[in-house]
Amino acid sequence: MRIIPATLGLLATAAISAAGTAQAGYDYPVCLRVYGPATYTECGYTSIAQCKATASGRAAECYPNVFASAPVMAGRAYRRHGGH
User: How would you write the pLDDT of the chain (84 residues) with one tens digit per residue?
Assistant: 567 766 656 556 555 554 444 445 578 999 999 999 999 999 999 999 999 999 999 999 999 999 888 665 556 655 666 666
Residue spans of the domains in the chain: they are 25-67
E strand map for the chain: 30-34, 40-45, 60-64
What pTM value is reported for the model?
0.54
Q: Are 50 and 56 in contact (CB under 8 A)?
A: no
Which pairing describes strands 30-34 and 60-64: parallel, antiparallel, or unpaired?
antiparallel
- Could you give the CA distance from residue 58 to residue 30 in angstroms, rounded to a whole number? 17
